[in-house]
Chains A and B, each alone.
Chain A
Amino acid sequence: MSAVPVSPVPSLQARSAATAPMPSASASLDWGRLGGVLLVLAIAIALPFFTSDYRLFQATMALIMAIAVLGLNMLVGYNGQLSLGHGAIYALGAYTTAILIDQASFPWWATLPVAGLVCFVFGFLFGWPALRLKGHYLALATFALALATPQLLKYKLLEPWTGGVQGIVLTKPEAPAGWPISSDQWLYGITLAITALMFLLAWNVLRGRLGRATIAIREQPIAASAMGINVAYVKAMTFGISALYTGVAGALGAVAAAFVAPDSFGMFVSVFFLVGAVVGGLGTISGAIVGGIFIQFVPNVADQISKSAPSAIYALFLILSMYVMPLGFVGLLTKLLRRRRRAPR
């Protein structure tokens, strides 16, 4: 995989790209990769059998974070645009679910597609004009969105739905009657299935028409447009899909935590997702898993050092990654593996 510059016109300088590309549209099945994926899947499936419920809950959250980070990565990898406001989309998904369960008595699993759809529409509508914005302007707009989200959620006029500052309390889903598993195990199983499905879909979309179109747009937007690709539509579509993923993650997160409140959706959520994306590998699919695990477990460990330690570690990773491993862990691993493969001379 060659590093792909983010700007539409490949410049001489952009070779040390922060984004690793999505696998090329013509990527044939790489047996090594498939083996790796199956191994990870096997471990994931085996997990409930030898860990405590609490750990399983954390694993569930890690998977949810991975889906959210994947949403962000799709935006970066496909559109070459960075959003600092995916926390707001996560909140939108979470609150959609919470309101549907609380006010409309939806079964929790039925809220997932609705949350996904709501976020998709939001992302599509936001993405249409946003395509015109240059990198840091979009970052700025989404940054403002993320900062304003808690205030919006606390707004008095919306209180009948959002529950105001207190938020909304939900009940954790129980395993179906008669099944000999705990609710944590049940939730983990469902989340794992959804995660696997969504990752598979993401990988597939790339190889299809939409994926090829986005790559064409990213590389040479003017030529792509001249060839008849509707740039605005494709970009808005990508934004929508990106929002859909993070929105579904938000919905799942609300169900898992059984609780939503405005102050859990501040700026830091968007920063978490950014950290996850960067650490795993900006713009990659597999990196999202690494990123999700990272942002779920680092606070647990670092919290014991000091209250500020998690943020400090995040900051360090954000800054250092851009110098040392611009392609994240996944990129680093890929580079190392490639070097080993070439080693015998």
Chain B
Amino acid sequence: MFFNLLQQIASGVAMGGIYACLGLALVMIYQSTNHINFAQGEMAMFSTFIAFVLLKAGLPYWAAFIATVAFGFVSGMLVERVVLRPLKNAPELSVIVVFIGLLVGVNSLAGWIFGHQLETFPSPFPDKAPFGTTLVSAHELGTIAVALVVVTVLYVFLRFTRIGLAMRASAENPVSSRLSGIPVSRMLSLGWGLSAAIGSIAGLMVAPVVFLDPNMMGGVLIYAFAAALLGGIDNPWGAVVGGIIVGVVENLAGTYVVGSELKLTVALVVIVGVLLIRPSGLFGRKLVARV
């Protein structure tokens, strides 16, 4: 009984790692543009399909992984340049509509190119977990490891490199950054590229668990939103903590309380709850609107 609980917590943490990655991507874009990228999930799904095609063509897994992440990076930058930049001064509602358009567009593009049938997607991790343990599967352990690596690399990059600092500065105060010579729009593209790259990693980790199809990321996106909001939409590390909490709660609630059919509702409740009770999340900055 207790072992079962531990198992559920462990898989919750693993899924949480995926939500954390996607949530991180969402927060990065929110920080630099004050927009929520509703299409983040679909972009990740599309990259995962690219990986699928590469793997089918015979490429070894980690080569396909790298190629996919690179594809994600480039496509993220392209989306920013082509779709978002012209909307720099548009009202918020227009931008939301465009994001939804992007969501639908990428989804239908994937359906058109790759078809709608469910595909199985391989996991790079061995079948048996280390030490033969049944507490976690190898894939779950691998997912946690990958998520940890992603978060750590991102942290080091943002905190300790010159470009990372420039990205943080651009997100925080674009005018002051430009006055110091930082090419803010290039930083924005970079941010989008990074977010999309992280998103594709999330997609690659999720696909072996659920089946690969154009609608794969819909639910995952909602969990990522819940994670980002819970952690504080302007705090990337909050998204990580939020992701783990959401992953564990979703799994436990699904197993012990409401049944797996209502899992999305749990996410909905988290989102609405956070927005109503404490919109800045656990670790976000409290925003005071000056009247």
Interface residues of A, Cβ cutoff 8 Å to B: 5-7, 13-14, 16-19, 76, 80, 82, 84, 129, 132-137, 139-141, 143-145, 147-148, 151-152, 154-156, 222, 267, 271, 274, 278, 282, 306-309, 311-312, 314-319, 321-323, 326
A7-B91, A147-B218, A319-B83 given; A154·B112 CB < 8 A: no
A306 vs B110: C-alpha distance when bound (angstroms): 13
Nearest chain-A residue to B272 (Cβ)? Answer: A141
Question: Which of B56-64, B240-248, B258-266 binds A?
Answer: B258-266
User: Which of B112, B219, B261 sits near A147, CB closer than 8 Å?
Assistant: B219
Does chain A have a CB within 8 A of B97?
A: yes
Interface residues of B, Cβ cutoff 8 Å to A: 35-36, 38, 83, 86-87, 89-98, 100-109, 111-112, 116, 218-219, 222, 225-226, 229, 259, 261-265, 267-268, 271-272, 275-276, 279, 291
A278 vs B95: C-alpha distance when bound (angstroms): 12
In this complex, the member of B108, B112, B263, B279 whose beta carbon has the largest number of chain A beta carbons within 10 angstroms is B108
- Pair A137/B275 contact, Cβ less than 8 Å: yes
Please provide the 7 A-B residue pairs with the shortest distance between their CB atoms, ordered closest to farther.
Answer: A318-B101, A315-B105, A311-B108, A18-B94, A319-B101, A308-B112, A13-B89
- Pair A156/B83 contact, Cβ less than 8 Å: no
A22 vs B192: C-alpha distance when bound (angstroms): 36
A152 vs B266: C-alpha distance when bound (angstroms): 11
22 contacts between A and B (CB under 8 A): A7-B92, A17-B94, A76-B93, A82-B96, A84-B96, A129-B276, A139-B38, A140-B275, A141-B271, A141-B272, A144-B267, A145-B272, A147-B222, A151-B261, A271-B104, A309-B112, A315-B101, A316-B101, A316-B105, A317-B101, A318-B100, A322-B94
Nearest chain-B residue to A282 (Cβ)? Answer: B93
B182 to chain A, nearest CB (A): 22
Nearest chain-B residue to A317 (Cβ)? Answer: B101
- Pair A156/B261 contact, Cβ less than 8 Å: yes
- Pair A222/B291 contact, Cβ less than 8 Å: yes
Provide the residues of chain B in CB contact with A5, threshold 8 Å.
Answer: 91
A241 to chain B, nearest CB (A): 19
- Pair A308/B111 contact, Cβ less than 8 Å: yes
A152 vs B268: C-alpha distance when bound (angstroms): 11
Nearest chain-B residue to A274 (Cβ)? Answer: B100
In this complex, the member of A16, A144, A147, A315 whose beta carbon has the largest number of chain B beta carbons within 10 angstroms is A144
- Pair B271/A136 contact, Cβ less than 8 Å: no
- Pair A315/B108 contact, Cβ less than 8 Å: yes
Interface of B is mostly: helix
- Pair A152/B262 contact, Cβ less than 8 Å: yes
Nearest chain-B residue to A76 (Cβ)? Answer: B93
- Pair A19/B93 contact, Cβ less than 8 Å: yes
- Pair B96/A148 contact, Cβ less than 8 Å: no
Provide the residues of chain A in CB contact with B109, threshold 8 Å.
Answer: 308, 312
B88 to chain A, nearest CB (A): 9
A282 vs B95: C-alpha distance when bound (angstroms): 13
Provide the residues of chain A in CB contact with B91, threshold 8 Å.
Answer: 5-7, 13-14, 16-19
- Pair B275/A133 contact, Cβ less than 8 Å: yes
B23 to chain A, nearest CB (A): 13
- Pair B97/A18 contact, Cβ less than 8 Å: yes
A312-B108, A322-B97 given; A148·B264 CB < 8 A: yes
A267 to chain B, nearest CB (A): 7
In this complex, the member of A16, A132, A134, A318 whose beta carbon has the largest number of chain B beta carbons within 10 angstroms is A318
A312 vs B106: C-alpha distance when bound (angstroms): 8
User: Which of B86, B111, B112 sits near A323, CB closer than 8 Å?
Assistant: B86
Known: A144-B226, A145-B272, A311-B107. 18 other contacts (CB 8 A): A5-B91, A16-B90, A16-B94, A76-B93, A139-B96, A143-B225, A144-B264, A144-B268, A147-B222, A151-B262, A156-B259, A271-B104, A309-B112, A312-B108, A315-B102, A318-B101, A318-B104, A319-B101
A267-B218, A312-B112 given; A151·B98 CB < 8 A: no
Provide the residues of chain A in CB contact with B90, threshold 8 Å.
Answer: 13, 16, 18, 322
Provide the residues of chain A in CB contact with B105, threshold 8 Å.
Answer: 311-312, 315-316, 318-319
Provide the residues of chain B in CB contact with A134, threshold 8 Å.
Answer: 92
- Pair A140/B271 contact, Cβ less than 8 Å: yes
Provide the residues of chain A in CB contact with B106, threshold 8 Å.
Answer: 315
Provide the residues of chain B in CB contact with A133, threshold 8 Å.
Answer: 275, 279
A309 vs B229: C-alpha distance when bound (angstroms): 34
A76 vs B275: C-alpha distance when bound (angstroms): 20
- Pair B279/A137 contact, Cβ less than 8 Å: yes
A137-B279, A267-B218, A319-B102 given; A148·B36 CB < 8 A: no
B193 to chain A, nearest CB (A): 20
A314 vs B222: C-alpha distance when bound (angstroms): 22
- Pair B92/A136 contact, Cβ less than 8 Å: yes
- Pair B93/A18 contact, Cβ less than 8 Å: yes
- Pair B116/A154 contact, Cβ less than 8 Å: no
- Pair A84/B222 contact, Cβ less than 8 Å: no
- Pair A152/B93 contact, Cβ less than 8 Å: no
In this complex, the member of B36, B101, B219 whose beta carbon has the largest number of chain A beta carbons within 10 angstroms is B101
Provide the residues of chain B in CB contact with A84, threshold 8 Å.
Answer: 96, 100
- Pair A152/B265 contact, Cβ less than 8 Å: yes
